[in-house]
Structure 1
Amino acid sequence: MLSGWRKIGPDPTLLAWAKAAHPLAVAALRDTDQPLRCGGTWAVGLDLLPNAPDGRVEGVPLPWGLLGLEATALHPAQLSTVHPGYPRPSAEETESAFRFRLNRDAAHLDGLLPIGPNRARMIKEPHAWILGLPLTTSDAAPLVVWEGSHLVMQAALRAALAPHPPETWGDVDITAAYQAARAEVFRTCPRRELPGLPGEAVVLHRHLIHGVAHWAEGATAPAEGRIVAYFRPVMDSVQNWLMQD
């Protein structure tokens, strides 16, 4: 994947999975105590879908062969749900963070967590890949990717971590290298919006910079919002996360 992403479908097996998952997702989002963020316009939906470890929901299998991914044990899917007006300012974000969310789609690399009082970025969740499965028909707030950005990020992080023993890579502050590489991505990599429909899927390289576009004027979604289920299984080591292509 030179672009760092690929889209799959539409396919009836993916549509069957999305139809089975949708009512479970709506119920899980309704019953969760996870707060809405971004001024009430975004539900993060971490680990909310009651799928089986092989991805099946209500007996409907996840079509691993179609996805081209090696079957692995999965966590309950994230249900990233966006509502009209996304994003709005909120107390949980600084003004600069809100502007970045609005103007740069909150572009980020999955797996890096802010650690300590200085919120140093460290690789704490080394995901193998990112799989997105739309559950609602909507043109609102699509996934955004920067094509080829995984190659920029790989080169920058490998260089930043090369002086350190591999077993310590998950504890190294990579904030400066990450921010500089992301700035290069904005300068050199094309930004692409990837709206999706039930019956489709998108697979992202684990090092791809991605985010969510704002809710554009005239965009539509059902009452429950624009819902995408995401799987991000964790790899066995930060070293493999960084060094494997």
Structure 2
Amino acid sequence: MQRREFNQLLNAILKPDSIKDFCPNGLQVEGRERIQKIVTGVTASQALIDAAIALGADTILVHHGYFWKGEAQPITGIKKRRIGALLDHDINLFAYHLPLDVHPEIGNNAQLAKLLDLEMTDGLEPIANSVAVKGRLKTPMTGEQFAQKIAEVLNREPLVSLVRDEPIETIGWCTGGGQGYIDLAANQGLDAYLTGEASEQTIHSSREQNIDFFAAGHHATERYGIQALGELLAQQHGFDVTFIDIDNPV
């Protein structure tokens, strides 16, 4: 498939124009015209680029790309080395941030729900027009039991703030750095809130608003949307796709 067609295909799937983001979505670095062999990953780190080069990929597709709002613009240091490696090996870089978080089927929030048996009635219902969503545990359980389930499924021990004695039934969640939405979840009267990261004030919000909180890792909660997108491209469009997990403890 030609690069322009591939970009159009991704945009048709993820609809980036429908959401305001902090970075450009779509083609970020131009490489070869014809796209056949794709490497997917969470972040366009040097390690992922090096792995893609070793595999002879012509395209890298990630959730976290480059050119974030507010970052330094000069192409120096690690930015120079990363972009230089892409250009030297004529590799395309495509990145989709919030569009990949919120997609109702292959998005990070939807994929995490499938893994953790979170029920999404009427699709992914947003919390107060945010990218966080809400639903229910298919099987209510205590905070301790849910923390154990997260650890087993994601292979990552979550940071938790458990303040309730009752089982968790209703829950809000947002993969990645969505800790700021805990107050919206509390205002909705939800029993618990799950995300990737925690800030100092997050624990106080949990304690003072009587809402259980779980931070399961930014990387660990966002591995699955990009995998699902890659699987879709392989199964429905015949691309050679390899997911490479460059682990990150955050």
Bigger helix fraction: 2
Max Rg structure: 2
State if a TM-score over 0.5 links the two structures: no
In the superposition, the TM-score normalised over structure 1's length comes to 0.23
In the superposition, the TM-score normalised over structure 2's length comes to 0.23
Structure showing greater relative contact order (alpha-carbon pairs closer than 8 Å, 6 or more residues apart): 1
